[in-house]
Structure 1
Amino acid sequence: MRIVFFGTPDIALPSLYLLNNKHDVTAVVCQPDKPVGRKKTPHAPPVKAWAEENGIPVQQPTKLNDGTFEAWLRNENPDVCVLVAYGRILKQPILEVPRLGFVNLHPSLLPKHRGPSPIHTAVLNGDTETGVTIMRLDAGTDTGDILLQKSMPLPPEATTLEMAMELATLGAEMVMETLEQVEDGTAVHVKQDGSLVTHTRMFTKQDGAINWNQPAEVIHNQIRASIPWPVAYCTYDDQPMRIHGATIAQEVVQALPGTIIRIEDEALIVATGKHAVSIGSIQAPGKKVAAVADYQRGNPFQPGDKFEDG
């Protein structure tokens, strides 16, 4: 089939790989390059970089609904369009262009976790199960009919980054399976159950700010949900300190939240509002991520030192 692929970040790449191997991907549509670093140098999204390396034309429209993009898409004459983490809302006239419509990968078990940050939210909430939904894209926000859905465990120590890669791999296989059904007319459309809908919002830097008065479980989930971005943070000596890895220490503590109650070979045990967290890796301002054992050799913490809220 002739396919136009819509996607922007790394999570979209596994689907693009498989599609390009089996179908005719005539073009890729992704968001515009973003300025990066102090010099604000334009940086190509991962999907654009891969497409250009493999000779696939790339479109990066700044406007989607002025008629110009719709005319371009009609000229491409796709049988179907596949959308994976494109990051922009498409209106109905565009959705009606491909002969077989738009197929969308959403990394949650819809109708749970509709919206822009389903993986972050599942990890932050401490969900024990997640999955991928392949759906028919409509003009709503993740409201289309479900074509295929598969679940997988969400381990208690998994980060957003780790789950994103696993879900991307599973989802790519599901996209291929769904397209076979769409092409031969056997796809089954299942309406979403409106009584089970939950919504997510866009994650922000502030979502990484640690409040040590929260229970250890909440802080632990926040830390792993914030990897790779924004990375959970607190303050120490009035400087930001980022926490890259921690586990729950199930023990009764009698210290102010944020206090380092003891130092083990490879971890700082820090009091929270309930129980403690065992911090294994940190990042001081202007420094690389370091294991606590390595950090202690040059800038040792002491029991009784206190982290403040982020």
Structure 2
Amino acid sequence: MTSIVFMGTPAFSVPILRMLHEEGHNILAVVTQPDRPVGRKKVLTPPPVKEEALRLGLPIIQPERLRGSQELEQILALEPDLVVTAAFGQILPKVLLDAPQLGCINVHASLLPAYRGGAPIHQAIIDGQKFAGVTIMYMVEKLDAGDMISQQSIPIEETDHTGSLFDKLSIVGRDLLKETLPSIIDGTNSRTAQDETKVTYAHNISREQERIDWQQNARTIYNQVRGLHPWPVAYTTFEDSNVKIWWAQMGATKHNSAPGEVVHIAKDYFEIATGEGESIAIYDLQPAGKKRLSAEEYLRGTGAKLQIGDRFE
């Protein structure tokens, strides 16, 4: 029986871990990030993979930093045949990459060589891509640069956001790994080098990427909002305070107003001017220091005085 160390952290990784367990693989340990404070009250919260590992009764290792740690020595001492990672969140040191007989493989949520890095799903939506996918690949020291073993694509729907696409690709990754793993174990899998001339990167989202530039056209802003939903969430500024824009859609109001100006107010949404004479309809937002509100709640309360011509910066 093949012995495996699984490494993952967010909800994306949970169906993959569950599949490995259900398929009867010998999971020696589950390696995940440490518990972190979450929310305004900073409640110490385990990552989703840890919760699943506890449910399955699997040993758990949580290194703050893998390289040079006692936890790394603990993993190496297990002598796994294979290491499987899926959104673990740390770079694996060479000593670990070289240790397993069958290597270290990664379930990466992009169609490599596009979108190497930590935010491939966010970036694919922000860039307006029509397809996303998962690549099963061998891991090397260079970021997401190893040989590809298998790949599966799915369309990005018009209403998809990062949360919905994460859920879809998690299942794609689970099924693709289940299909691919037997050939990796018996050594019959294919192995394709990535085309370095087609490499793009999707680094972790920066604060600057979260800020809406109303000079952009409506499609660009819509892609930004859904690419940052439900985390980390796009934002704008109104009356010198930041406002998170949780959800928006393409607006219908044509105008000659300056980008950022309110051009239409309805019962359950309002529209803001964008570049190219277009608009974005705001349906879900969160003023600074307040809870998340539907636009209808906002217009009845905090935003009751909102008028045509008011400006979001």
TM-score (norm 2): 0.93
Closer/same/farther in 2, CA of residues 223 and 145 from structure 1, 3 Å limit: same
- Aligned counterparts of 2:110 and 2:135: Cα–Cα separation in 1: 6
Closer/same/farther in 2, CA of residues 269 and 233 from structure 1, 3 Å limit: same
Question: For 1:1-310, what aligned pairs fall within 5 Å after superposition?
Answer: 1-22=2-23, 23-37=25-39, 40-66=42-68, 68-249=70-251, 251-274=253-276, 275-299=278-302, 300-309=304-313
Work out whether residues 234 and 307 of structure 1, in 8 Å CA contact, stay in contact via their aligned partners in 2.
Answer: no
Closer/same/farther in 2, CA of residues 75 and 272 from structure 1, 3 Å limit: same
What number of residue pairs does the alignment pair up? 309
Q: 1:244 is paired with a residue of what secondary structure? A: strand
Moved more, 120-129 or 276-285: 276-285
- Aligned counterparts of 2:237 and 2:69: Cα–Cα separation in 1: 50
Q: CA deviation at 1:214?
A: 1.6
- Aligned counterparts of 1:29 and 1:161: Cα–Cα separation in 2: 24
Deviation string, structure 1 residues 174-213 (Cα, Å, up to 9, x no partner): 1111111112222100111111111122112332111212
Amino acid at match of 1:102: C
Q: CA deviation at 1:295?
A: 2.5
Deviation string, structure 1 residues 236-256 (Cα, Å, up to 9, x no partner): 222222111111125532111
- Aligned counterparts of 1:140 and 1:159: Cα–Cα separation in 2: 29
Q: 1:151 is paired with a residue of what secondary structure? A: strand
TM-score (norm 1): 0.93
Work out whether residues 245 and 286 of structure 2, in 8 Å CA contact, stay in contact via their aligned partners in 1.
Answer: yes
- Aligned counterparts of 1:45 and 1:212: Cα–Cα separation in 2: 36
- Aligned counterparts of 1:68 and 1:292: Cα–Cα separation in 2: 51
Q: CA deviation at 1:142?
A: 0.5
- Aligned counterparts of 2:9 and 2:57: Cα–Cα separation in 1: 17
Aligned-residue CA RMSD (Å): 1.8
Moved more, 135-144 or 252-261: 252-261
Moved more, 93-102 or 30-39: 30-39
Work out whether residues 70 and 93 of structure 1, in 8 Å CA contact, stay in contact via their aligned partners in 2.
Answer: no
Q: Percent identity?
A: 36
Work out whether residues 299 and 306 of structure 2, in 8 Å CA contact, stay in contact via their aligned partners in 1.
Answer: no
Deviation string, structure 1 residues 282-310 (Cα, Å, up to 9, x no partner): 2223333222223222342544242422x
Amino acid at match of 1:105: V
- Aligned counterparts of 2:282 and 2:99: Cα–Cα separation in 1: 51
